[in-house]
Amino acid sequence: SIASADMDSNQLEAFLTAQTKKQGGITSDQAAVIARFWKNHRTQIHESLIKQSCCDNILKNMNWRVDLKSQLRHIDQMNTPVAIVEMELGRNGQ
């Protein structure tokens, strides 16, 4: 199990207590250290998780058009619309 960055203090305490009771879990000293770290760095942890969950690529440009086929071997395929989409992706912040 993993602690969530949006846990309040009571939820975190309950989570850590449960981890100390699991076989092979953490000690109460380790739980205290984790709680102190989480409380001191909660905002940074939350921001880091948000950044990791967002896509790095952004849509910089998009062009599209619809063409009609006018020359084909089989006449029943003529005037069939075809959509052409061109997307330019870039890195976020670049």
pLDDT in tens, 78-90: 677 788 889 888 8
- pLDDT tens-digit series, residues 11-36: 888 888 999 998 888 999 999 999 89
DSSP state, 75?
Answer: G
68 token code pair: 């009609």
Q: Which residues contact 56 (CB under 8 A, 6 or more apart)?
A: 91, 92
**For residue 3, what pLDDT is reported?**
56
Q: How confident is the model at residue 92 (pLDDT cuts 50, 70, 90)?
A: low
Phi, psi of 88 (to 5 degrees): -110, 120
Q: Give pTM, 2 decimals.
A: 0.46
Q: How many CA atoms are closer than 13 Å to the CA of 67, on its beta-carbon side?
A: 8
Q: What residue spans define the domains of the chain? A: 9-53, 58-90
- pLDDT tens-digit series, residues 33-67: 998 998 888 888 878 877 776 666 778 888 988 88
